[in-house]
A and B are shown apart, each in its own frame.
Chain A
Amino acid sequence: MSRAGPVVILVAALFALWYAAAVPMNIREALTAAEREGVAVQPVTALERRDANALGLVLANPGQIPDAWAQDRPRLPAPHQVAGELWLSVVMEEVEGRRGLLRSGSLSNRGLLLHAWITLSATALGFVIGAVAGIALAIGIVHSKTMEKSVMPWAIVSQTVPIVALAPMIVVVLYSVGLQGLLPKAIISAYLSFFPVVVGMVKGLRAPDAMQTDLMRTWDASGWQVLTRLRLPASMPYLFASMKIAVAAALVGAIVGELPVQGGGLGARMLAGSYYGQTAQIWAALLLAAALAAVLVAMIGGAQRLALRRMGGAA
């Protein structure tokens, strides 16, 4: 691949930037630790260092730069620290941990894989609910002016409410009617993912031009026939584009839903990391969530290519 070179350079530059940013971020802790071990640092007192500029501290103590990448609780962990945390919590925990896959036969609740699986199942269920609801609403909106006037404004308003504020309430309300566990998180996830599908599908279902619908009319086609034979196939490119956004939103919804629920998952893991100052743990969960989103979007992309190839391959 001729593009591999530039891509590698760009990724390397991002890592370099990350390493560079970690130095001033963590220099104070590195200097305090060095001072305890009897290393001479500039300025000498902690009070002076508190008021000093972070970049100035780096320049005054170039010898402590490697320490800034090796703190136990860094403000910004260096990439290799996050990679190490990922290795420990994804692989080693399952291989060597007391509760790991090898010893206990099930995924460890101290490892990331179990939490990723919890998040993934809420995301998948939420995405399916959201996509189905989105398609159904779009079909209603396209076929009924009343639906368009009454549903569309609420759908838009629903997305302006911050989900972090709404999520605990959804959890509480559903709990009071006896629903807990996977479903409340999936519903929060569906709440975020139905909207792009509605917008995309309304556009897609209206994509056929007047001539196409006139043609259907000359054949005296029923509304159902127009929907299944013209509108739905014509909307496929829009559906897949909106589902890519929806699946990423579903993941965000599931993670936000895990914050108040505390039943595990990447969101709970991030929250725990922030309670205990385990920044590397937060970053590891973040990266895994990002990777999960990338995989989900790629899966939708794969389904899109498959579907469009079956639909003639020109699109």
Chain B
Amino acid sequence: MMNAPIPQTAISARGVDLTFETADGPVHALKGVDLDIAKGEFVSFIGPSGCGKTTFLRVVAALEQPTAGEVSVNGMSPDEARRARAYGYVFQAAGLYPWRTIGGNIALPLEIMGFPKAERTRRVREVLELVELGGFEKKYPWQLSGGMQQRASIARALAFDADILLMDEPFGALDEIVRDRLNEELLRLWAATGKTTLFVTHSIPEAVYLSTKIVVMSPRPGRISDVIDSPLPRERPLDIRDGPEFIEIAHRVREGLRAGHEEV
């Protein structure tokens, strides 16, 4: 017997403003952002440069302080959540340390968090299998392709088993073919781990293919112009992207982006 799952809120934002003071005057990176993200969702943030999608992710990660509004992460303030190691963060660049092996890089957050050695070894092996890099533990980053490096950096973010995954254009620097494969893998990974995932991207197909919820943002000031709950099933083969539903959602995202652009 299974009870109907009660949707729990992983992340909620209420009226979040963030203004950067620069030499050329204030820049409104975020303006009145309201958003709720349930546990286990895959949420993409899409929009042109300067729309605040990365900034929002950084606010959730407590790497930026909002000037106004409330953000809660797992019921805590972002900074408490950071201290509780509630999330793993994947940047656009893999950012692996060249002086550490792949295994050593993935063990780094575990070392910092004080996991015992045996546990580190076990977890490193486990996440490497998860991202299909089994056997690459002893290799150095420069011996791996860009796509493999980015997979290793995802493994690093997964290693300490935080239940939120924040990804800031993780595949932005990769070519289309590698990107498609990693998108498929990421979906599989998400299905296997059930982690709440926030994913920043420039690519409409990527956002539609991956997400249960798509947040369309527009710039100056950075704000949410549309939130689309995807009707696509959780099981998504790559060719789902040729189906009518997919094309319809992609169309709506494009409309949202255009609307946001014309208001300016």
Given A211-B91, A218-B63, A218-B89: A314 and B97 interface contact (C-beta under 8 Å): no
A312 at the interface (CB under 8 A from B): yes
Residues from chain B with Cβ under 8 Å of A233 in the complex: 97, 99
B108 A315 Cβ-Cβ under 8 A? no
A212 at the interface (CB under 8 A from B): yes
Task: Considering the complex, give the chain A residue whose CB is closest to the CB of B91.
Answer: A211
**Distance between A310 CB and nearest chain B CB, rounded to angstroms:** 8
Q: Does A229 have its Cβ within 8 Å of any Cβ on chain B? A: yes
Of residues 197 through 238 on chain A, the ones whose CB sits less than 8 Å from some CB of chain B are: 211-212, 214-221, 225, 229-230, 233-234, 236
Asked if A162 is at the interface of the complex by the 8 Å CB criterion, the answer is: no
Interface of A, helix, strand, loop or mixed by DSSP: helix
* CB-based contact B112/A221 at 8 Å: yes
Which residue of A211, A225, A312, A315 is within 8 Å of B95 (Cβ)? A211
Given known A218-B87, A219-B85, contact A315–B99 (CB-CB < 8 A)? yes
In the assembled complex, which residues on chain B have CB atoms less than 8 Å from the CB atom of A136? none
Per a CB cutoff under 8 Å, which of A211, A221, A312 touches B140? A312
Q: A312 contacts B100, CB within 8 Å?
A: yes
Complexed CA–CA distance, A229 and B111 (Å): 10
Within 8 A of A (CB), among B54-71: 61, 63
Chain B's interface size range is 20 to 34
Query: B51 CB to closest chain A CB, in angstroms?
Result: 20
In B31-84, which residues have CB < 8 Å from any A CB?
A: 61, 63, 82-83
Pair A212/B95 contact, Cβ less than 8 Å: yes
Picked from A211, A230, A314, the residue with its CB within 8 Å of the CB of B93 is A211
Q: Which residue of A lies closest to B95 (CB)?
A: A211
Q: Are B112 and A313 in contact (CB under 8 A)?
A: no
Interface residues on A, range: 20 to 34
Instruction: Give bound CA distance, A233 to B112, whole Å.
Output: 15
- Chain B CB within 8 A of A59 CB: no
User: Given the complex of chains A and B, what is the CA–CA distance between A236 and B112 in angstroms?
Assistant: 21
Minimum Cβ distance to chain A for residue B167 (Å): 12
**In contact, B109 and A219 (Cβ under 8 angstroms):** yes
Output the least CB separation between A215 and chain B (Å).
6
Q: Tell me how far the C-beta of A260 lies from the nearest C-beta in chain B, rounded to whole angstroms.
A: 44
**Chain B positions within 8 Å of A234 at CB level:** 97
Q: Is B134's beta carbon under 8 Å from chain A?
A: no
A229 touches B101 (CB 8 A): no
**B192 interface residue, CB < 8 Å from A?**
no
Q: Is A311 an interface residue (CB 8 A)?
A: yes
16 A–B contacts from the bound complex (CB under 8 Å): A214-B63, A218-B82, A218-B89, A219-B85, A219-B109, A219-B160, A220-B113, A225-B112, A233-B97, A234-B97, A312-B99, A312-B141, A312-B142, A314-B98, A314-B140, A314-B141
Closest 3 CB pairs of A and B: A311-B99, A314-B142, A312-B140
